[in-house]
Amino acid sequence: MPAASLDQLVSLCKRRGFVFPGSEIYGGLANTWDYGPLGVELKNRVKNHWWKTFVHRRADMVGLDSSILMNRKVWEASGHISSFADAEVECKHCHQRFRGDKLLEEKLGTEPAAVLKLDQIQPMLMTEKICCLNCGKLQWTDARKFNLMFKTHQGVVEEEAALVYMRPETAQGIFVNFRNILDTMRMRLPFGVAQIGKAFRNEITPGNFTFRTREFEQMEIEYFIEPGTSEKFFDEWNEAVWKWYTDLGIGKDRLRVREHDKDELSHYSSRTIDIEYKFPWGWGELFGLANRGDFDFSQHQKFSGQDLAYTDPDDPKKKFLPHVIEPSFGCDRSILTFMLEAYTEEKVKDETRVVMKLSPEIAPVDIAILPLSKKEHLVAKAQELYKKIIHETGLVCDFDVTGSIGKRYRRQDEIGTPRCITVDFGTLGEDIAQGERDTVTIRDRDTLGQERVHIHQLTTHVHRR
């Protein structure tokens, strides 16, 4: 069973070095989080696995790493300056601001209230008697559109500095580089471009740990196709994404697909589905798949004056703007989901064991090497093995000699290490009861099964597993 409450996970993340509150020694900065030593390993593994699956293992995909700051015209063309806004209401009493549609959604359970017109939100809040979550008063302003893009200035002379936006999605970097990629990479339709990177949104109500933050990472794909073929590729991507999440351990019973209503669609999309996960607070969006049609290319062609059409290499008369299918993953949200799903409390001999049953593909540490005691010659033998395994396998290994062996096993369980190797006096040939000379014990995180393996077979053994 996954974590029953978010607090259980937040506490483990802090205790074990996965995620810390941002700027903590200065009292923090609301809703910012820093990935600690184990968190960054987990994050890198998730990103690498994603890249391997969707870029390296496919002949029809290439990658990109574009800038966060882009020409302002990009956001005029993409529609973000005019349309990337949420409905904000303010409490007239305490001046706290909220997303009006979300307040309605949470109270009424209607999914989603974003389809409401702006001028319907305040009257509905009043009729339904939905009070301010901060002070409890029922005194709402009219809802107004609040643009979510972060602004900053580029240039050294303050008065002359140009207004620029921090990108709210990585997607636009792919669209503006389409021509460059086409000209340099000999790609033919259908093909896609993948990008992993930071995005920024001045969310009105961030929260639920890393679920909704103002700075986050996306893993996005823009898949370019011939007009008229969108249905087939939309279904293919839906399947591929579902497989990625379930292969990495997300239970199918806690995933569902939700189709957006027509009036809920983003300004660029003719069809969108979300893959939702059953979070401890309810169903929430994990991933989005959109049919962007030729919206972005026709806008960028218009605003830039550049020809962005694709010419069929087999038929130069066939020239058209490609259509786009967009699978868009939240990186931090995916990591949160993997951790919630992996968090397990189970009874072992009357004791409660907390174990993170992360897929071995993404667990931050592959193997822990644990000398049974602090005796110098035992530690030296364990260190020798540690170096050998790192050198010969390239796996990520932890070496831990502090505390009792039981405590060390518990720590490794909590950080999700799939296997622990214990070096004992049997290994040294000093205690046959512990095992034969030159053998070690391998303990499995999930079954708690232990097997004795000869050190000459160790690297092949851990690789095979």
- Contacts with ligand GAP, residue ranges (CB under 6 A): 169, 171, 201, 203, 212-213, 216, 218, 220, 285-288, 326, 328, 330, 332-333
Strand partners, 193: 62, 222
- The smaller minimum CB distance to ligand GAP, of residues 203 and 346, is found at 203
Residue 34 has φ and ψ, to the nearest 5°, of -115, 135
Q: Do 47 and 196 contact (CB within 8 A), yes or no?
A: yes
Question: Which residue lies nearer to ligand GAP by CB, 292 or 408?
Answer: 292
Q: Which is nearer to ligand GAP, 207 or 394 (CB)?
A: 207
**Of 322 and 330, CB closest to ligand GAP:** 330
Closest CB to ligand GAP among 197 and 416? 197
Q: How far is the CB of 203 from ligand GAP (least distance, A)?
A: 5
Quote the least distance from Cβ 272 to ligand GAP, whole Å: 8
Task: CB nearer to ligand GAP: give 76 or 128.
Answer: 76
Q: In whole angstroms, how close is the CB of 441 to ligand GAP at the nearest point?
A: 41
Residue 37: exposed, middle, or buried by beta-carbon count in 10 A (0-12, 13-18, 19+)? Answer: exposed
Helices (H), 285-353: 295-304, 331-342
What gap in Å lies between CA 119 and CA 144, rounded to an integer? 8
- 222, HSE (Cβ side, Cα atoms, 13 Å): 26
What minimum distance in Å lies between the beta carbon of 330 and ligand GAP? 2
Pairing between strand 367-371 and 397-399?
Answer: parallel
Q: How far is the CB of 15 from ligand GAP (least distance, A)?
A: 23
Measured distance CA(269)–CA(83) in Å, rounded: 13
Q: In angstroms, what is the minimal distance from the CB of 287 to ligand GAP?
A: 5
Which residue, judged by CB position, is nearest to ligand GAP in the bound state?
330
- Please report how close the Cβ of residue 269 comes to ligand GAP at its closest, in angstroms: 9
Rounded to 5 degrees, φ, ψ at 340 are -60, -40
CA distances from 48 to 43, 51, 149, 395 (A): 9, 5, 28, 14
Shorter beta-carbon distance to ligand GAP: residue 171 or 176: 171
Q: In the numeric block, which tokens belong to residue 18? A: 């996965």
